[in-house]
Structure 1
Amino acid sequence: MDDHARISLLTAEKPCSLLAVHVLGPFLVTLDGVPAGLWHGGRNESLFAYLLTHRNPWPSRETLMHAFWPDSTPEAARNSLNVALHGLRRALRTVTDRPIIVLRGNRYGLDPAVRLWLDVDEFDRHLRQARRFHLAGESDAAVREYEVADGLYRGDLLAESPYEEWPLLPREQWRLAHIDALDHLSSLSFAAGRYAAAAGLSARVVEGDPCREATHRRLMVCHSRQGQPHLALIQHRVCAAALWRDLGVEPSPETQDLYQRIRRHEPV
């Protein structure tokens, strides 16, 4: 075996590097468990997150220029992109000399030889699995998947870069998906008679979406069934205030009826 063949064999046998990236909540990049640093601000992080969440197809140079510098001249936007790519590659060179972001033709993307673990991909995957179990009536399996998804959601997308424009829509989409997951998890806990768990989850839901009236009602029932009707009545006031403040409406007859029943100390 000649030297070239021996090198090729050793390269083939070497396992691919694992790039793990967290973009939900605090931004974190590791390569084979070693954190990459020197990001120097939100733009490098934002550009890397964009490239990883727009992999099919890889974005072109013009797409990146429009996404990040829409008001700049083409020349200025191109220069800004080159500076940002340089900063991104410099940050990644703290963990490897191998190029992670590569250029093919006019498009930028992740080196296909690098394995990627991305938290938003995993979050979506566990949510899909949870929904399948939920629809199939496999409650315990659904709960496990929803809990894994909840654990992956460490915060909103690129939470440390609140002024970037492109994440606004996906940030809200993933935030609402997380709230939906918590709501489903609360409903499953409630159905299983785990009222303390259901109450805690419901409280997180209405904190993120104060106008979910059905979740307010579930929280009221949880409090009542745990022998805390006073908390249920307070929750009704919180619900009514949120509905009026955000939507200009009163609570529904169903919510009002539940409130009256709890006031009369009737079982709910």
Structure 2
Amino acid sequence: MSDNTAPSSVELLGGFRITIDGRTVTNWRAGRSQALVQYLLLHRGRPVSRDTLRSALWPHLPPSAGTTSVKAAVHGARRALCPTGEGHTPVRIASVDGGYLLQTDQLWIDVASFERRITAANAALAAGDRALAAGHLRRAVEVYRGDLLPAQDAEWAVAEREWCRTRALHALRLLSDLALEAEDWWTAIRWNRRALEVDPYDPVPSAALADCHRKLGITAAALRWDELAQDRLAQV
């Protein structure tokens, strides 16, 4: 069951999509207007200066050309988010002193939901409530459909992508540990297979899968996972 019950939403994990009142935004016409919105979404809740946007989105342009490009991208983004230019929209780019602020009302954002669930899980673990923690972790990895902005190769996106991937792998590791403590081998297998989808070269899930299959008496599969774990270690 998804956390998303809002008519307007943003998906950054596993791909990029904005839906406003049931309408998917597709008319990204002006240069890097889409990338500008993506950057502002990742820095939501705080103003971003024009110089910061210029450096992030147009690092190779001289300052004068970069500033013009920022203004053009903002104009294009506003038209994409609100084609008529009238009425209220849940996603707005407000001009502030020297920059821009992304304003959102009743907008579900998958990354924000993912982060809230991870934070809640850590708090539950600290309080000793492992069942509550497991529930939050399950919802977090459900929201994590894949890499953040996989088509975006800019440095600012790559850094955020790696951070989200690290947190997803940590959540899956915790879920696996909880299942192993309960000797629920099939559930542990589920979480470790999912961890390999997130990072196919991580040797830890492969080793855990070998152990789980061994506990279940499925020796041939355990040996295959052992071999895969050794191959992954050799590639690290």
Length-normalised TM-score, structure 2: 0.86
Q: CA deviation at 1:72?
A: 0.5
> For 1:210 and 1:104, how far apart are their aligned partners in 2?
44
Mapping 1:102-121, distance limit 5 Å = 102-111=94-103, 114-121=105-112
Contact 2:203 2:230 in 1 (8 A): no
Provide the alpha-carbon RMSD of the alignment.
Answer: 2.4
Mapping 1:22-171, distance limit 5 Å = 22-40=11-29, 43-94=32-83, 97=86, 98=88, 100-111=92-103, 114-161=105-152, 163-171=153-161
Q: CA deviation at 1:96?
A: 6.3
> For 2:84 and 2:209, how far apart are their aligned partners in 1?
48
Q: 1:196 aligns with which of 186, 199, 202?
A: 186
- Structure 1 residues 224 and 96 mapped into 2: Cα distance closer, same or farther (>3 Å)? farther
Which whole-Å deviations, capped at 9, do the CAs of 1:24-80 have from their partners, x for residues lacking one? 122121223433231259933321121122135311111100111111111211122
> For 2:127 and 2:30, how far apart are their aligned partners in 1?
45
Larger Rg: 1
Contact 1:18 1:31 in 2 (8 A): yes
> For 2:48 and 2:185, how far apart are their aligned partners in 1?
47
- Structure 1 residues 119 and 211 mapped into 2: Cα distance closer, same or farther (>3 Å)? closer
Contact 1:37 1:94 in 2 (8 A): no
Length-normalised TM-score, structure 1: 0.76
Residue type of the alignment partner of 2:26: G
Higher-RCO chain (CA-CA 8 Å, sequence separation at least 6): 2
Identical pairs, percent: 33
Structure 1: tracts of 5 or more residues without a match: 1-16, 247-268
The corresponding residue for 2:226 is: 236
> For 1:50 and 1:18, how far apart are their aligned partners in 2?
22
> For 1:70 and 1:200, how far apart are their aligned partners in 2?
43
Structure 2: tracts of 5 or more residues without a match: 1-5
- Structure 1 residues 55 and 74 mapped into 2: Cα distance closer, same or farther (>3 Å)? same
